[in-house]
Amino acid sequence: MEDLKNWIHNRLFDQVPISISVINREFKIVDANPEFEKNYGEWENRFCFEVLKNRTARCSDCAAALSFDDGETRVSEEEGYSRSGEPFYYLCHMFPLIRKNGEIPYIIEMSTNITATKKLEKEKLEAERLAAVGQTVAGLAHGIKNVLMGLEGGVYVFRSGLEKEDQVRMIKGWQMLEENIARISTFVKEFLNFAKGRVPKVKPVLPNQIARIRPNWPVSAWRAT
């Protein structure tokens, strides 16, 4: 048994390519393997949140604290900092050490570096966003083209009213121009907001207001909605 224990510590604990640490109920690291020190730096007499996340206090949503309370094994995706200060993403498996009397003095944490995977996920999301931007530009150009047709119609109505000195016709043409210019402005602002990657602000609306066709809109402008 002694040989088995030595093999587990010298080979399994010290040589596995994942970070292993043992924390007590004060959230201090009492033991760690070389891979942990390689990734996070010096750990002796330091708190886990200090070493892993460069914090001065325990995380409010600490999964290890929950495992100390209920003795359950947990898996948590975490974000911390490497020994060089770079952002470091890791998948942490937490195994409580439960004594016969039910006491849980330690939790063993096994962490796998998923930083490269996270980077690929972000690149994929960015590529998808750019593809969506391309589709949006094409749709926006088509919509603006339709609105421009409405502007041309408004110019024609206004000009013909001016030539005939028909004030009613001039007012109608001017209203067509104003409404279509406003629509172009809305198109451009929405596109810029999307391109910047802002989080959309969602609020309830009445569908009938969106679908309603206003009487003084030209058909070409309505089709652009």
> Any idea what the CATH number is for the domain that residue 56 is in?
3.30.450.20
Cβ-proximal residues to 114 (8 Å cutoff; 6+ apart), any chain? 77, 89, 90, 91
Is 52 part of a structural domain of the chain? Answer: yes
3-state class (DSSP) for residue 30: strand
Give the chain's domain count.
2
Q: What is the value of pTM for the model shown?
A: 0.54
**221 in Cβ contact with 144 (< 8 Å):** no
**23 in Cβ contact with 30 (< 8 Å):** yes
Is 119 part of a structural domain of the chain? Answer: no
Is the domain of 101 the same as that of 183?
A: no
Is 24 part of a structural domain of the chain? Answer: yes
Domain that holds residue 196: 124-223
Per-residue pLDDT of the chain (225 residues; tens, 9 = 90+): 566 666 666 667 777 888 999 999 999 999 999 999 999 999 998 999 999 998 999 888 899 999 999 999 999 999 888 888 888 899 999 999 999 999 999 999 999 989 888 888 888 888 888 887 788 777 777 777 888 888 889 898 988 988 888 888 889 989 988 888 888 888 778 777 766 766 667 888 888 877 775 544 444 444 444
Domain-ending residue, one of 85, 113, 141: 113
Backbone phi, psi, residue 120, to 5° = -65, -40
Listed in order, strand segments (DSSP E) in the chain are: 19-24, 29-32, 74-81, 87-97, 106-113
Q: Which tokens go with 40?
A: 């996070």
Domain-ending residue, one of 113, 141, 169: 113
Domain-ending residue, one of 48, 83, 113: 113
Residue that the structure tokens 């931007």 belong to: 133
Is the domain of 91 the same as that of 21?
A: yes
Is the domain of 181 the same as that of 218?
A: yes
